[in-house]
Amino acid sequence: MRKVTSEPCSECKGRVRSKRISQEFQKEGVKVKLSGLKAWVCEQCGEIYFEPGGAERVVQAVNCLFALALTENQHKGTLSARVSRDTSRNKPTSFNPDRSIVP
């Protein structure tokens, strides 16, 4: 992902930069927070853009975390997951519900 895109923000025409972000979602009293997401963010208005397919993957991850929390009725408050990359082996990490995100 490049640091700055040549495409301006569709909302305000501001400059859009590559950034890692956190987003929090709430459903039925449970909060889910994803951190370390790669996104494009407008420096002026804060509009968030994802690479093609990225938003759908975020929705899938959030829905899986909500399903875990609500089905097991095990979380009161916030359930968090961090997206990261194991740079020592240069391969993506996977989700483990017992330990959040692990290599």
Residue 86 in any domain: the answer is yes
Residue 72 in any domain: the answer is yes
Q: What is the pLDDT of residue 102?
A: 34
Band (84; pLDDT cuts 50, 70, 90): low
Which of 16-20, 24-28, 64-68, 73-77 comes out lowest in average pLDDT? 73-77
> Which domain range does residue 90 map to?
22-36+52-102
Residue 26 in any domain: the answer is yes
Contact 45, 8 (CB under 8 A): no
Domain count, the chain: 1
